[in-house]
Amino acid sequence: MDSKSGTETPQESGVEFFFNSAPPLKDRDQISQKLEVFITKISRSSESGKPIRVVCVTSGGTTVPLEQRCVRYIDNFSSGNRGAASTEYFVKAGYAVIFVHRWGSCQPYCRYLPQDSFLDFFDIAENSTIKVCEPHGTVVKGAIRDYRKAVEEGFLLKLSFTTIFEYLQILQMVATSMRCLKSHGMFYLAAAVSDFYVPWENMAKHKIQSAEGPLDMRLTQVPKMLLVLRKDWAPAAFCISFKLETDPDILLQKADMAMRKYGMHVVVANELATYKREVSVVTSGEKTRVCSHGQDHDLEEELIDLLVARHSEHIKKPSGIDMNE
């Protein structure tokens, strides 16, 4: 609400319109139950010892359907590698992770498996059992062990989305269920989220016909949920968003703007041409470059170390709620 006029701001009405017109999530009840079990278990474990921190990692790109019975959609380049790698390092740092990912995108602990030649990893042994080909055995064994441990000990919950409608509804559910964790909650929003969408009621019901000639389509702006997340859904949580640009000359300025406009604690700025090798971590006081040391080194290792340290400072502050801190 605009405090002066008492009316809704365009941002608020955009958010309301988006949620009211979005097709309801098919598995809302199941997601809600999974979240409740996960958060309750973490909260109980926290009561009997050191509080466990929880991070919601979003990962992969959202699609924008063009038809209600969807044949065509707009997509983006994101592979989900950053979110998957970051999840592994957060679990290693003792965080419980809610991994909100694009269905079919890169998964934590599976990043080593080649997607195009998956079967080259395996062979049939003499006794007809399946064996992992060397030299991959050690990596696969380690990955299976770490993955099982994370899931069995309640440190990893995976929730998947495909469309922008599913993504934002799931993010809202996760955020409101993490509210009780106060400043021990963190959001690490690495998903590449569509800026534009077709509202459900404006969408063609059936497959758009090419016989009707060239296609003119008006896309509506996706409302910026970062502000709503920060102000309403989980106001005490530590929030990190990502800024992606193709023009290096505007990147840091845009990251700085995003931080102030949406009250983010940290914005990780990256450029399309170099995002796998280098990012800049922007906070209100400083900018820090984090680089990868070589092809086999994940820059996420240092990035997560740095963010965990910033989160610790946030937790120590008397209140994480002030939007102007």
Q: Give me Rg for the CA atoms of the chain.
A: 21
Q: How far is the CB of 234 from ligand 9Z3 (least distance, A)?
A: 16
Closer CB to ligand 9Z3, 78 or 87, in the complex: 78
Query: For residues 289 and 301, is the Cβ–Cβ distance under 8 A?
Result: no
Look up residue 133 and give its DSSP letter: P
Closer CB to ligand 9Z3, 155 or 298, in the complex: 298
- Strands 122-124 and 130-132, bridge-based pairing: antiparallel
Closer CB to ligand 9Z3, 243 or 311, in the complex: 243
Closer CB to ligand 9Z3, 132 or 308, in the complex: 308
Closer CB to ligand 9Z3, 190 or 204, in the complex: 190
Cα separation, 160 vs 59, in Å, equals 9
Closer CB to ligand 9Z3, 43 or 79, in the complex: 79
Q: Taken in order 83, 85, 88, 93, is the CA torsion positive or negative?
A: negative
Q: How far is the CB of 7 from ligand 9Z3 (least distance, A)?
A: 27
Would you tell me which residues interact with ligand 9Z3 (CB under 6 A)?
A: 78-82, 189-190, 192-193, 241-244, 270, 275
Q: How far is the CB of 102 from ligand 9Z3 (least distance, A)?
A: 9
Q: What angle do CA 116, 118, 124 make, to 5 degrees?
A: 145
Nearest by Cα to 175 from 270, 221, 239, 250: 239
Which runs of consecutive H residues, i.e. helices, occur in the chain? 10-21, 28-47, 81-92, 137-152, 164-178, 225-228, 248-262, 299-316
